[in-house]
Structure 1
Amino acid sequence: MHKTTQIYGIRAVIEAINANEPIDKVFVQKGLKGDLSRELEGLIRKNGINTSYVPIEKLNRLTQNNHQGVVANISPITFYELEELVEKVIAKKEAPLFLLLDQLSDVRNFGAIIRTAECTGVDGIIIQKKGAAPVTADTIKTSAGAAFKVPIAKVDHIKDAVYYLQASGISVVAATEKTDTSIYDISFSGPSAIVMGSEDRGISPSTLKAADHLAKLPLLGEIESLNVSVACAVFLYEAVRQRALPKS
C-alpha cells in the first residue's frame, strides 16, 4: 500500500499526469523524439515535475518492462499545496514550526530529517519540486514511517515559500556557516521556520538573502561541517528546548 509505484511507457505516464497522480520523478531517455514525447515534455514543464534525462541503460536498470524511453515514480504520499498547509497549521497553532529543505538530494538524508521532524513536532516540511530528493521506498524506510505523519508541501522555489511564510507572520531562520551569529542567539519560541541547504551547495544565495536570520552551529573540531541531517536535528532540538522553557 505504501510502496513507491513505478509506471513506464510514454502514454501511461501522460495519463498519470493528466489524472493528477502524485508523480515524484520522471526519467526520460536522452534524445527521445516523436509526438508523444513532445506531449509529455509539455506536461512535465506545465506541472513542474522533477525530471532526469538519462541514457537508456539507466531505464533498463529501473525496469525490465518495455519502457519506451520513459519511467516514472508515483509517490507513496500525497503532497500538500503550500498555502493549504500553512493556513491549516496557523489555524490550529499559535507558534507553528516549519522546515524548508533547499534542494536536499539524498533520499536517506531526507528520510532521517523527516524522522527527526516528526519527533520534534514539526508542523510541515517544504521542498522544491525540481532538484529535491524524491520520496522513495528508501526515504520511507529511513524515516521509520514518519513520512506518512508529517505533511510535506512542494513549491516551485524555496525563496517564494520563504516570502509566503514571512507574510504569514513566521520568522525564517537559515542554517548556514556564512554568518557570525550562533544558533544559540536566535529565538525559536515564536512562529518559526528553519531552512536547511543541500549536501554540497548549502542554501542558495537568494534564499539566504530572503531569510530573517542566519545562524550557524559551533564547530570545535577540524572538520568544517556536519551531515545535513545531523545539523538539522540540532536546530530542531534547539527549537524544542527553547519552547520547553517556562514563559517569563
Structure 2
Amino acid sequence: MQKTSQIYGIRAVIEAIYSNETIDKVFIQKGLKGELSKELDGIIRKNKISVSYVPIEKLNRLTKNNHQGVVANISPISYPAFEEIIEEITRTKESPIFLLLDQLSDVRNFGAVIRSAECTGVDAIIIQKKGAAPVTADTIKTSAGAAFKVPITKVDHLKDAVHYLQASGVKIIAATEKTQNMLYDIDFTGPCAIVMGSEDIGISPSILKTADHTAKLPLLGEIESLNVSVACGVFLYEVVRQRLRN
C-alpha cells in the first residue's frame, strides 16, 4: 500500500512545492527565521497550503532526522481541480451524487466515509483545503483502498463549492439534527450533494443556511448522535434505495 511520504528540511520542502507535489500539510518551528524561511512562508501562502507553527518538540516527534525546523507530508493521492471535475461529472451523468465534508478531522472516519462513498457510487468527495483531515496511510487503510477510486477535490471555502454546485443544478442536502425534516422525506433521485459535518460541532451555520434542504436520522435510543461515518453511510444508502426503486 502506498503511504504518505514525509519530507523534511527547508530547501527540500520548497523544492517539493515548486515541483507541484501534493502537500497535505507543513509543520514549521515557531520563531524560525532566515531568508529560506521567508521564501517558504511566501510559497505556502501563495499555494494556500495548510500549515501549523509548532514547538520544536513536535517536529522531533514527527521525525528523527535533521528537519531544520520544517516537516511536510506529501499526500499519497492527487486532487483534481474542483471546477474541472464537477463540470465533467455534471456534463456526463444525468443524476450525479456528491459528498461534501465540512471540517471532518479524524483520518479514520474520513477513510470509512470514503469507503461508503465508493460502495454507493458517489461521483466525487469535496473537502476544504484547511481544517480537513488529510489522506494518510491510515485513511487509505480504513477506506480499503477506496481513496484511490473516488475523486477527492479540495476547495478554499466549502460555501463557494455549495454555490457552484447549486448553479450546476445540484440540490444540496445538509445532514443535521437541527431540523424537523426526516431523511426519508427528501427526494434524492435527481442530482444532489450531501453535506456531512465535523465530529464535534457538525455543519457550520453558513452552510446550513445555504443548503436547499436539511435532514436528520431518527434516533430512538438515549445517545444523541451517530458516528459521522455511520450517519453518512445511512444517508448514502437512502440515495441508493430511492434510485433503485425508480
Q: Aligned residues: percent identity? A: 78
Equivalent AA in structure 2 for residue 27 of structure 1: F
Distance 1:128 1:79 in 2: 12
Q: Is residue 200 of structure 1 aligned with residue 193 of structure 2?
A: no
Task: Give the equivalent residue in structure 1 for 2:77.
Answer: 77
> Post-superposition shift, 1:27?
1.1
Shift of 1:129: 0.3
Count of residues paired in the alignment: 246
2:166 maps to a residue whose letter is: Q
Cα offset, 1:107, TM superposition:
0.2
* Aligned twin of 2:114: 114
2:32 aligns to what? 32
More moved, 216-225 vs 148-157: 216-225
Q: Residues of 2 paired with 1:26 and 1:62: CA distance?
A: 11
Amino acid at match of 1:67: H
TM-score (norm 2): 0.98
Matched residue, 1:11? 11
Residue in 2 that maps onto 1:189:
189
The alpha-carbon deviation at position 91 of structure 1 amounts to 2.2
What's the TM-score, normalizing by structure 1?
Answer: 0.97
CA distance in 2, matches of 1:232, 1:31: 41
List structure 1 runs of 4+ shifted beyond 2 angstroms. none
1:98 — aligned with what? 98
SS of the aligned residue for 2:231 comes to: helix
Question: SS at the partner of 2:7?
Answer: strand
Instruction: Give me the CA root mean square deviation.
Output: 0.9
In structure 2, the residue matched to 1:63 is: 63
Q: Give the secondary-structure state (helix, strand or coil) at the position aligned to 1:125.
A: strand
Structure 2 unmatched runs, 5+: none
Spell out, residue by residue over 1:92-148, the C-alpha distance to the aligned partner (whole angstroms, 9 max, x if none): 210000000011000000000000000000000000000000111000100000000
Alpha-carbon deviation of 1:40? 1.1
Provide Cα deviations, 1:172-201, integer angstroms capped at 9, x if missing partner: 000011111111111110000000011111
What are the ranges of 5 or more consecutive residues in structure 1 without an aligned counterpart? none
Q: Distance in 2 between matches of 1:51 and 1:140?
A: 22
| 1:42 match | 42
2:2 counterpart SS class = coil
> Could you tell me how far 1:223 is from its partner in structure 2?
0.7
Map 1:131-210 onto structure 2 (within 5 A). Answer: 131-210=131-210
Residue deviations 1:160-181, cap 9 Å, x none?
0000000000000000111111
- Structure 1 Cα separation of the partners of residues 200 and 156 of structure 2: 20
- What is the match of residue 215 of structure 1? 215
